[in-house]
Amino acid sequence: MEVAAKVIDPESLLNVTIMHEAFVNAVERIERAQALKDRREDPCCLALLGESGSGKSFVLDRLEEKNPSIETDEGTLKPIVRASVPSKPTIKSLAEEIKSQLDPNDTQKRYTENELTRRIAVLMDECDTDVIVLDEFQHFYDRTTETVWEHAADWLKRLMEVRKKANRTRRMLIVSGLTQSMDVIQQNSQLKRRFKAPLFLPCYSWTSPKERAQFAACYNGFAEIIGQHFVMPDVEKNMMYFRSYCATGGLIGYLKALMHDVVDVALKENKKKLEVEDFTTAFNQFLFSNPDLKVGYQPFSKSFNTTPTASVLQQAFLIAHPPALDKGRKISRTTTASLPGNSLVAKELAQMAS
């Protein structure tokens, strides 16, 4: 009897987290802060920062896995609520996003800002929510107009002051985003006072032996998984480490995406043994999926110079650090007082916080 071949799915095959040092440190620090949050008078606030592809989402995914939602007879308990900050956030758009995560069935769109605030406070108690996670926190800073959306940041700060009804403790806030998220925190004195030292997820540097070893360990972790189904290229590992570094800029999220495309190429071509040329095909596929990356070389081609020259390392650096807004330009501020209706929302939150 013929046995059907096992179907390999690149998504599920590489749906793993490589426990590199920065990842472990970030997870452990969040867990320590989470364990102590009920002993603090002020809300516990942490910022998880890093370039796109540095692994912030993996850290937050791990946090959600350890604190899953639980269905009970009374409803759903959600110890962690994770929402994304909308582009150009207003109080209402941010509140709607948080509300939708707490209660997806509440589709009413006619709430006023005050009603939304009260609704969120009630839902957080009903869901026994301990931690609020906000992704894309850099959206509080509008790079086009150089404006900090301070009215929404002020509302968030006041929301974190609202105590849990059961034990009168406050909740924990974790914000995740690009490094310019710190500009938002530094510009708001109330947020600045509540935030602890930020957690940074790096793009590993090739010039640091320690970081180079960390990147190599991550490559080996993915290669070991792929090697259970395919034969990896028979070349010197140090060469593959450097080529992969130049392809990803030292970002673990990009490395994972590249390895996903390597598996995808192998499956499409029905290959069991991988060659370096397959990595070239995967790299071009990876670039097509990430059109914002501007790369002027082919790190897996035969002609690529694997000597880590300054020009090559600069190219790799730009993969992880695309040119951003000139940081020397002044950030203007949109104050809460200048926005109609926000004084009512502030008063509502102050009453619930007391």
Q: At 344, is the pLDDT very low, low, confident or very high (cuts 50, 70, 90)? A: low
Q: What is the mean pLDDT of residues 271-280?
A: 92
More confident position, 1 or 300: 300
Q: Residue 224 has what pLDDT?
A: 92
Average pLDDT of the chain is 83
Q: At 325, is the pLDDT very low, low, confident or very high (cuts 50, 70, 90)? A: very low
Q: Is the pTM of this model over 0.85?
A: no
**Residue 175 pairs with which residues in a beta bridge?**
47, 134
Does residue 47 have a pLDDT over 70?
yes
CA dihedral 96, 99, 101, 105 (to 10 degrees): -100
Q: Mind listing the domains of the chain with CATH numbers?
A: 21-202+330-353 (3.40.50.300), 204-320 (no CATH)
Least confident of 149-158, 297-306, 323-332: 323-332
Percent of the chain past pLDDT 90, that is, above it, reads: 44
Q: Is 325:179 a contact under the CB 8 Å cutoff?
A: no
More confident position, 44 or 204: 204
Q: Residue 220 has what pLDDT?
A: 94
C-alpha–C-alpha distance, residues 250 and 173, integer Å: 28
- Chain centroid to Cα 256, Å, comes to 14
Q: Is 259:220 a contact under the CB 8 Å cutoff?
A: no
Does residue 338 have a pLDDT over 70?
no
